[in-house]
Structure 1
Amino acid sequence: MTIAEPDSSTLTRDRYDRLLEAAETYREALVVRLCGEVGVRPAELARLSSGDIDRVTADPPRYLLRIPNGDFEEHADRDTPPDRTRTAYLPTDLQRDLERYVRSNDIAAAERIFPVTPRRIQMLVSDVADRASERANDDSLSSVSSSDLRRYFARSSLVTHEINPRVVKTAGGWKSFEALESYLSEPTDDAIVEAFEVVEDGARSTDNAAEMRDDSLVGSILAATDRCALIRLDSDGYVERWNRSAVSTLGYHAGEIVGTHASVFYAEDELTGDELEGKLAEATTESPLEDDSWFVHRDGSRFRATELIVPLREEPGVRGGYALFIHDISNHHEQLESERSRNDRLEGANAVTRRFRSVAQELLEASAHDEVETDCCRALVDGPAYQYAWIDRTTRTGERQNWRTSSGIDPEAADRLLPDTWDGATAGGDAARRPSGSEFDDNPPEFDDSPPTSSGVGTDDVTGTDGGPSTGPAAGEPSAGETVVTSVAGQVENEYVEGTLARVCVSYGDTVYGTLSVVTDREGAFDRDELAWLETIGRQVGYAIAAVRRRNLLLSDTVVELEFVCRDEQSFFVDASAQLGCRFEIDSFVPVSESTQLYYVTLQDGSPATVFELAEADPGIDDCRLIETYEDGWRVEFIVEGSSPTLTLTEYGVTVLETVVEGGTATIAAECAGGADLRTIVDGLRSVFPDSELVGKREVERTVQTAHEFREGLADRLTDRQESALRAAYFGGYYDWPRESTAEEVADAMGVSSPTLHNHLRKGQHELLRTFFDASQE
């Protein structure tokens, strides 16, 4: 079909858009569009109602306009009788605009949308045309009428959209094709030949032609993707034919693959030739057969695909076979595996979080050192996060541990999982269990008035071993304070176990109580976040151990008085007293942080300047200063970074009463709760300061000072004026914040001067604090 060329006066798309832009009201735009895009006449517009809109399909929505017949005498076109009813196509976007206009003007379904005469509609189009002509400076636009708009509808339908002329005639309401001939030119010879080319393609039957169209459609769909292959197999599974998309899917060309058994497409570990024959036989009985398998490209790379095997119907003279459809789902499979892996990681993280939360709850309820360790291990393995957990207590003797607390695994069996390079951790038998008794328990030393000597209980006596103290872990074994992650494997209770082990330090401040080890078979276990949480658990267990030791000391009716001797040069005061021949008496030490303490020391038989010079070279002393000078010595302040014998004992729940360092030996008097584990305390001290020993212990009843006795003792220290000044200041609101009374007001009330009041207050406060912090000094 050849379309006649438009002349200069024809309403083109560009000129139509200018006309539409000149419409100043919603109604004007609708009138122009209904004439130019639906082909409605003015008389038809005048009798059109919203009830004439008919939705013929719902998905997607499509609309027709049922134009009613009428008796109006005004007709712009005489090619259709006035009583004829016709159907026009209503574009979806125009329907929405028309519906919006109807709703905004509250027009009922039976009411006319444009309640005017056809002549008024023609005038409305003329007004819009004049306006468009002025704006576009195009005189030809002023002559556009509703008839021109219908002609624009006919041309755009036939030329632009190439709609069937019969459909255009019906939708536009033309009586015959003669009204449309002006838009169609006489066909040329080439046009005639092109139109009848289909006749030369073959005289196939209608059914074969329909089948060919269906095959062409399927082929086009398959050819449009490189992830689908359609292969025809004979009854034995050999390739007979395949489509072009199979080339890109599998990588083979038809010439090299036809006649090859289809098992070549499958991964070797997925399917063999015999297994494929069984799958084809199964497809025959359970048609079709659908499955997911691993396939291989020509270059050997694997991909995941869905296969569909359908047996072909046997026809007379045609040998039956199978159709094999392969759809590459590698991307989907990778995404699915990624989501599964992510889900597994989240499940693992949730399981770990639940275990950590359970550990925290157990630690809050524990009341003893052993109970802390046992409850921690049990809480960790009470779920899928970890299979085994154990805590090794730190010691510096010939064996790496004195005993082990475990859950999920016997203490001896844990050694079978540890790497061979951890020589110090492979001791089995009694070395992994807490001894039931020792010389230390049966023959405790007693205090004596004579100076301590080396004849007291030593390292070997406390540990119950024959080896001397070691200076560090065995060769190849990580240090106790190091976080370790390693693969482990071994036989545990007739089962071979493979997994990952993580070991973290159990510590409080600078004191290491031991190590916590956990084993899991989870993939991707112990990432940075999990290790950070596990290290936090190690610190929490250390805090809990220190807390229960201190609580037991506070609540115990009996205490054990202890005397330690430390000759280890790692202690600054031991080293300084040996080098300078001076004497240190530690009056008090105040913790500033986990690793920093303030020491207040009385120095004798030495020069502060010499001591300060030695302290500057020691990395463990951050700063020092002279506080006060006495007749026979000095009071000195030291800021100590890191561990010290007194701090280590404190972190094991021991209260240090007195510390004297002289001649390279520190003698420490302390006390702990009656039920405290002395072995753990001694081993803990030796783990940091190996050249240390317990030289005596004695169990005594705790001396309790009542509040009344404390007040009576304080009253004996205060003068009458000091007590009066403290009472007046306290009850007068001097110590409140904000203050209720100033010092001057309190002094006036007492009848003394302000300096005198401050003198009494300062001395009274000093006696009060001295009684509280240093009751042993008179």
Structure 2
Amino acid sequence: MGDEWRAVETESEVISDERSELEDAFARVSDAVYTLNSDLRYTLVNERARSLFDRSVADAVDEPADADGAEDGVGTGPVTDRLESLFGDAHQRAFERQRQVTVDAHDERIDRWFEARCHPDESGVTVLVADVTERKRRERQLEEDNRRLRSIFEDAHDAILVGDENEIVAANPAASDLLGIDRSEIAGRSLKEFIHADHDVSSAWETFLEQGRLRGSFSLVRPDGTERIVEYNSVANVLPGTHLSILRDVTEARRREGELERHRERLAALDHVNGVVREINDAIVTGSTRAHLERVTCESLADSPSYEFAFIADVDARSKSITHRVEAGIDGYVQSIPLSTASDDPAGRGPAGKAIRTREIQVSNDVFADPDFEPWREDAREHGYESAAAIPIAYDSVLYGILGITSARRNAFSDEERDVVAQLGEILGHAIAALERKRVLLGDELIELELVIDDAVAMFDGPDMTGHSVWFDRVVRTGDEQYLEYGRTAAETFPLLEEIVERVPHWNEVSVLQRTAGDVKFELSITSPPMFGVIDAYGGYVEAAAIHDGEYTTTVHFPTGTDVGAVMDELTDVYASIQTVARRQISPSSESLDQLQHQLAEALTDRQRTALEMAYYGGYFEWPRDSSGEEVADSMDVTAATFHEHLRAAQHKLIAMILDDAETAGERSTDDR
């Protein structure tokens, strides 16, 4: 018996050692692994599996039999219960079939997806578990994206075709409607079959493949012989050798456009107005003065057989008075009739008064039936007109005057004619504003205002700016109501500036242009700024601006003769706390062209000047270019990179010389506080 017991003990020790070695091996495996015996009872569960499937009771997992209820050394407990609930059926199938079984399961308790790969043999099942939650999420996202794309494809109103030059491989329902055939009959056919013979398909196809995308239109012929006009937008090689085309039926739109064009041709009166517009534009191009533009407008209208006479009146914003500026086809008209800007005055309820208040064109297409035109009926009989229009001459927030037009035709200012006549006010307003800006830039005398807004940052609930400053060096108008402001500040102040941008409604975004030695240069985009809009509308510009300790200060230049009182009235309407610190009459200094050329000659190296001259005379700056950069570089016998390096350096010096001189030019001023 002693030998038998020793043999049993030895065998147990061997089994124990083998189990210990297996457990040690499992402990070194980074993936979750567990094993089951032939009775499908758990024999080993590594640490990764315990941590994945029951972190809250991990210390209770796979304890000895007397601790967790296991029998014969087989582990049971919370983790094995969880494993059984997730993958138990897979264990049995793998062992019975003696084939690997892979199964995915969702653990709702921790909201994770797991993949179990069950590897069976005669002694049991070894299971490797991987957390595939992210993969599942990507798969679901991909499925959702595919569903959306399919929905877009199926539900789009425009026809969508996918294929190559010779064969359509996919088409949506809208394509079936457009081509006039059943959707099942489209696949395998070519789009060329439906394109009218007059369209140069070969040239279009070559251009399409060369450019990678193409837009255009063609006539499409359906199998039943009917034709449709379609606009297309095609993209090449959305997949290798496969192209995408989106077709839109514009037949009815083109028909309506044709009818409108024919209708316009029948309206001879529009030719007269368009002629006036052309004459105004010609006067603008030749650099005319405001008085000349106004005279050309009135005389051109009065000379037209469509209109009786025209006038332009001035409107004083403060006194609310309307006064004569220029007229044609009549003498002393504005002074002879009652006019008012007040809505409670009968003389202010006509076209002129309404146009001043609304800043929109106002018409009376039958002056003898219009009750609001009663104060001027006798005047209409005397001068022989039946229709009248008043067009505001305005730009941004400034009203420069009122253009009045009369016609002997009843309903003269209807539909298209009304719209075209209204453009006269917009054109004149824009031109006058441009002339005012030109006058302030080139004038010998300027009005300089120094303005301050106390607690400007606090006005927008901005951060405390005590001890901080921001300088705005340049304001550039980039479009209607769109501006870019360039400035600088200390690096520690820039986060405060970013916070201010978030608080000010018309400040859109600030971006860093350069960081150097504790300073930050930035670019600030602004939309519809109240102050800039008023200043720009009066022909002025911001010379400099800054924020110091939360106060906003700015220096503004206006042309001589600007109604400063009107400017300040409008600015006060926007910023009640704005104050004028100083007002001066100044005389900007300038340098001669010879001086500029001398400075340029000193600043540029020989190669830089050569690059600039060759680029200029070689047509590099023309559009389209006469010579490419590579061609100019070849002429200089340098590489293209070297040429561009010289050219950029020369351009930088030239522009810096002009802009820096404009900023640093001295000014002679007389204080007029």
Please, what TM-score do these two structures have when normalized by structure 1? Answer: 0.40
- Structure with greater contact order relative to length (CA < 8 Å, sep ≥ 6): 1
Write 1 or 2 for the structure with the bigger share of strand. 2
